Amino acid sequence: MPGTNRTTEEEVGGVEGMKLLVHHEEFKRLNVAFALDEGIASPKDALKVFYGERMPWWIKITATGPTGHGSQFIKETAPTKLLKVIEKFMNLRSEQEKLLEVGLHHNGQRYTLGDVTTINLTFLQSGIQYNVIPMEATCGFDIRVSPFFDMKEFQAKIEGFVASQPGVTMEFVNGHFDNTLTAIDESNIWWTVFSDACKGMNVDYETEIFPAATDSRYLREVGIPALGVSYLKNTPLLLHDHDERMHEDIFLEGIEFYNTLITRLSNVTAAEVEATLIK
């Protein structure tokens, strides 16, 4: 049955929403000093608090080559060259997947998804007829670059993959190139207030890099510290899945949590912020 599908602009990248808004004069006049954004559910008795996120890179790779009848051995065809490039990306994907399994931080905590870079092949397109070798083959990758990666070095690496085959090009369909993190120590008055508020309410939390992308990245890029947190502890992670839900007691606790937290954050003075910056 015909219909319409409506979603928040953030769900499709935020390029025409928050990315533009943070540079608008009306937004600048709001004098935003700090932001709270979304987090995700945690099955543990602790909140997940995100102080940064991975950079979403959506890339399209196109290979071109000679055409001909499918009964022949034609060299340097578009699909052949594209598959060689894809193999390099998938090898890098395997390395990162292994790193997630064995990686440890200095404090002994295991790596989480936000600490590594994910690389996923999301589409392949080539050819129409079974007996004709296509002149063009394309693929798309969804890459989420960890802020702990050297961004320029990583970009040079994947560009090298593409350049290894003649007649293969790459374009960024969507790319964010800022990996600013929000400080989670005493140098950030907002973090101090947040962590003290959680302690006062006996709410445990775990700090992580957000594995996907939210509007927070655009705020951090213009110098506004932001934390991503949703009061969804003891809640199954069913993001965009069937039967996504939250329990009644968590919902009610969340109201009290945000009431207390937002009140405390709102009472931070300009002098306190400046004093932190001077340190």
User: What would the pLDDT profile of 30-42 be if each residue is shown by its tens digit?
Assistant: 999 999 999 999 9
State which H helix or E strand residue 180 sits in: none
Residue 11: pLDDT band (50, 70, 90) is low
Question: Cβ distance 143 to 118 under 8 Å?
Answer: yes
What confidence tens digit (pLDDT) does each residue in 168-212 have? 999 999 888 999 999 999 999 999 999 999 999 999 999 999 998
What confidence tens digit (pLDDT) does each residue in 67-105 have? 999 999 999 999 999 999 999 999 999 999 999 999 998
Q: Alpha-carbon distance 254 to 252, whole Å?
A: 5
* Average pLDDT over every residue of 9-23: 80
Tell me: is residue 240 an annotated ligand-binding position. Answer: yes
Active site residue 10: yes
Question: Cβ distance 57 to 174 under 8 Å?
Answer: yes
User: Could you give all domains of the chain from N- to C-terminal order, each with its CATH number?
Assistant: 11-53+179-278 (1.10.150.900), 55-175 (3.30.70.360)
Tell me: is residue 186 an annotated ligand-binding position. Answer: no
What confidence tens digit (pLDDT) does each residue in 143-164 have? 999 999 999 999 999 999 999 9
Please give the model's pTM, rounded to 2 decimal places: 0.87
First CA to last CA distance, the chain:
61
What distance separates the 2 farthest-apart alpha carbons in the chain?
A: 77
Tell me: is residue 11 an annotated ligand-binding position. Answer: yes
Tell me the sheet residues that pair with 48: 206
Q: Alpha-carbon distance 65 to 166, whole Å?
A: 9
Question: Cβ distance 208 to 184 under 8 Å?
Answer: no
Q: Which two tokens stand for residue 222?
A: 């213009």
